[in-house]
Structure formats: structure tokens, C-alpha cells
């Protein structure tokens, strides 16, 4: 497990500028703007996404079935070149062994969104389920026409 400081340095240096809109520092130079990185380990699913151009309330994370969707939008605002508005949506397909209800999101001070969920252990051996015969007919399964 990486500590925040090990993954994304807290200090700023050289040409990196403060992003005064979101209160976060710019993403590290080695993590390109808008970049996404996916990591699958034996026990964990992780995705990292640069959202440094957005404030936390402009970012939405949701799961739908086995999909993990991250979207962000900000209205037109002034930057050093003029006015800009941004919007994106990125969707990840969760591995079959990841429970969508267990996904957690954390935003670092430099605008990197960390999405994380544990991976469940491999499934055990197949289970045989006994078939029980009912004395009553099932009239709702195949209604007569």
C-alpha cells in the first residue's frame, strides 16, 4: 500500500503553479494532465485519474452494475489564456471479482483521484444444488394461451 507522499510528492518545485481555482496543487509533472492509470493487484483494484482542473464538488463518481464512471464538469472560467470550460466522462469496467458497492474514492491535495476496491478471493469449488420437486404445478411459469 502506497502512502500519499510516496505516490504523489507533497512539495512543489520549479515551474509547477498553484491551481487557484480548486485549491489543489497541479498534478505531478510525471502524471500528464487528464491521465488515467489502472492497477490490478492480487487483492486490490485501483485507478488513478488526474482531475486537478476540477473542484471536488465538480467531480462525480458512480457505479452502475460492473461499470465505474467518473465525470466532471466546470463552467466557463478565466485562466491565464482567456476563458475555458471543461467536461469529461471516463468509464472503467470493473473486474468480475470486484464488488461495485465497495469502491471508495479519495482526492489527493494535488488533484489525483484514487479509486480503490478490494478484489474478492477466487471462487471456491463448484457447488451442486439439489433440485426439489414440488407437488404443485407451476402455473405462472408458462401460462397457457
**Whole-number pLDDT of residue 139:** 56
Q: Please state, in angstroms and as integers, the Cα–Cα distance from residue 89 to each residue in 49, 124, 125, following that order.
A: 11, 36, 39
User: What is the number of domains present in the chain?
Assistant: 1
At 10, the pLDDT band (50, 70, 90 cuts) reads: very low
Alpha-carbon distance of 66 to 101, in angstroms, equals 10
DSSP string, 109-140: TTSEEEEEEEBPPPP-S----PPPPPSS--TT
Alpha-carbon distance of 117 to 47, in angstroms, equals 9
- Phi, psi values for residue 101, rounded to 5°: -75, -15
* pLDDT tens figures, 30-56: 455 568 889 998 899 999 999 999 999
At 14, the pLDDT band (50, 70, 90 cuts) reads: very low
| pTM tops 0.75 | no
Q: Which residue has the cell 476563458?
A: 83
Residue of 19 and 56 predicted with greater confidence: 56
Q: Looking at the domain assignment, is residue 8 inside a domain? A: no
Q: Which three cell numbers stand for residue 82?
A: 482567456
The domain that holds 82 is classified in CATH as: 2.60.40.790
Domain coverage including residue 97: 35-118
Report the candidate in 70, 111, 125 with the shortest Cα–Cα distance to residue 94. 70
- Helix (H/G/I), strand (E/B), else coil: 12: coil
Q: Are 115 and 70 in contact (CB under 8 A)?
A: yes
* pLDDT tens figures, 69-128: 999 999 999 989 999 999 999 999 999 999 999 999 999 988 899 999 999 866 556 677
Query: Angle at CA 112, nearest 5°, toward 6 and 72?
Result: 170
Q: Looking at the domain assignment, is residue 130 inside a domain? A: no
Amino acid at each position: 500500500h502506497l502512502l500519499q507522499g510516496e505516490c504523489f510528492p507533497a512539495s512543489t518545485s520549479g515551474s509547477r503553479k498553484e491551481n487557484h481555482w480548486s485549491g489543489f496543487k497541479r498534478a505531478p509533472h510525471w502524471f500528464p494532465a487528464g491521465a488515467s492509470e489502472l492497477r490490478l493487484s492480487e487483492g486490490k483494484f485501483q485507478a488513478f485519474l488526474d482531475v486537478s482542473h476540477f473542484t471536488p464538488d465538480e467531480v462525480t463518481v458512480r457505479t452502475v452494475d460492473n461499470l465505474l464512471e467518473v465525470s466532471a464538469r466546470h463552467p466557463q472560467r478565466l485562466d491565464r489564456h482567456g476563458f475555458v470550460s471543461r467536461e469529461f466522462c471516463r468509464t472503467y469496467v470493473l473486474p468480475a471479482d470486484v464488488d461495485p458497492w465497495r469502491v471508495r474514492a479519495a482526492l489527493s491535495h494535488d488533484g489525483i483521484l484514487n479509486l480503490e476496491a478490494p478484489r474478492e478471493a477466487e471462487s471456491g469449488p463448484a457447488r451442486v444444488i439439489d433440485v426439489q420437486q414440488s407437488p404443485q404445478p407451476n402455473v405462472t411459469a408458462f401460462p397457457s394461451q
